[in-house]
Structure 1
């Protein structure tokens, strides 16, 4: 059945890939974005499609649209972006959720909310299941994002219980792939950018902290399956294969053929998690979903994309990255 689907943050890294899938499936897609961290180039190829519409709008203001489903992806997601204006970040999470849920309540639309593994903070439980309540510093420099996303989850389930709004909450773990913002300050984009320039690969801490990296195509498949399922969540969406940051750096240097050296010259940022790995048992059981793209194959695609783009066209939204 053809649906009218709103994607907030639809011109961003994840949102643009989701729009691709939805448009190709024949749905009428409304992409809404304020272009703070997103790029028009991410959706430029869709502008001529009759079932795609692009609206410049900020989710902190109400939306008046008629839709069947909403994918709520709007929010800066990289530390360099969300710490640039922390008050705006938490407003985007909280007011954005309120406005999306208000719209969904009025038109009886189903909402998929893109939450985050950051709700687990610096976890004491490893890997992290959905039943873990987390270890988050509520007043630290990352709290604008972590606590904003936690509050948004609260709103999703309160609107579900009180008003019967049909919600789905997916907790996204580290994701990478083509259309990442080159200056978002995330470890994958930092390493690739440095490697392609032949610069030193700079590691925070001793490089033994771990992350689990999910390729964007796998994640978008998880979004679609979760929207179609009968469980409100939360459900972890990420790749359970765990790598140290040092291993990631070595793989980027190898694939890119870069002469870059790997150096340790920066302390770990405050509240930066030492471990991050999803327990995806619920995703496997309820969605029949798990990632299929291995890290090496995904990095090959991502590095090839970084080689093709003109990085001068991507403005760093913060002076620090």
Structure 2
């Protein structure tokens, strides 16, 4: 059944992969974005009759009230993403990542649905050898993690919502980001052939950007049985440390050298392994492996070399 989907922040890294997918499935999509990075990442879909785009701010109540009126589903992607960017603009982080989502829940009826992305950095520092499940305590350390956890609480209290706790996303997008861990490490391997690691034993989970889009489609199509819950979304065979990730990259980039430094720290302090059993039990499985993603990034980096592809 065709639905009208409102995607805030839809011209960003996730949105520019997700929006064409929704359109291909026959849905009507409206994107709201402030285009703060000067991106033209939705050029490929502007001719689609079911696509509409608005320049504006997801924090503006009058704008949101007008746009949600006709929406069956809202995907609130608008956010300041990543600990460094959030630390640099703390007021913008709280008002965009949390307050705009709280406002959204008050504007929507119980019949209107929310598909919400948050980050599994909300788990903070996990227990050694113990998988983080959706029942594990949320102990975010950074402002980014805290703001997204608080947003998740608001949408789940709304009731007609699914929250996706995303692993670290990798892969190419029309609005590329080089500051994400896998994307960054592969870029350095290709361009510099060298990388200095800190906290190299810290583990985290990973997921391809197209599999994030697939998870949202899965939630849309299975909403009646999945709503009201949070789901980890990641590759179950990719709970890897930074050191282990570098070794995987080295297999495809001969001559890549990486060294361990005694200083430096992760602002999110992400160190955990994650179980994705809950969403897999609903029938969702990722299509793209970490190694496939690394190969894709290597090819892509033969085309781009520009620091504008970053959030920091």
State the TM-score bracket (shorter-chain normalisation). 0.7 to 0.9
The structure-2 alpha-carbon separation of the partners of 1:218 and 1:309, relative to structure 1 and needing over 3 Å to count, comes to same
- Counterparts of 2:107 and 2:301 in 1: how far apart (Å)? 37
1:163 matched to which residue of 2? none
2:10 matched to which residue of 1? 10
RMSD: 2.3
Aligned residue runs from structure 1 range 181-200, under 5 A: 184-200=178-194
1:224 is aligned to 2:217: yes
Unaligned stretches of 5+ residues in structure 2: none
How far 1:58 moved relative to its partner?
Answer: 1.8
- Counterparts of 1:120 and 1:293 in 2: how far apart (Å)? 24
Contact 1:121 1:273 in 2 (8 A): yes
Question: Residue 113 of structure 2 is aligned with which of 94, 110, 114?
Answer: 110
Q: Which contiguous aligned blocks of 4+ residues in structure 1 show a shift greater than 6 angstroms?
A: none
2:260 matched to which residue of 1? 264
1:175 matched to which residue of 2? 169
Secondary structure of the equivalent of 1:311? coil
- Counterparts of 2:17 and 2:188 in 1: how far apart (Å)? 25
1:54 matched to which residue of 2? 53
2:42 matched to which residue of 1? 43
Of residues 265-274 and 48-57 in structure 1, the stretch that sits farther from structure 2 once superposed is: 265-274
TM-score (norm 1): 0.85
Unaligned stretches of 5+ residues in structure 1: 161-165
Aligned residue runs from structure 1 range 93-132, under 5 A: 93-105=97-109, 108-124=111-127, 126-132=130-136
How far 1:184 moved relative to its partner?
Answer: 4.9
Deviation per residue, 1:53-112 (Å, 9 max, x gap): 222222121211111111112212223332221221121122221232233228x42111
Provide the aligned length of Structure 1 versus Structure 2. Answer: 301
TM-score (norm 2): 0.88
Deviation per residue, 1:168-218 (Å, 9 max, x gap): 11111111110286665332122122122225212122x222122111122
Of residues 196-205 and 220-229 in structure 1, the stretch that sits farther from structure 2 once superposed is: 196-205
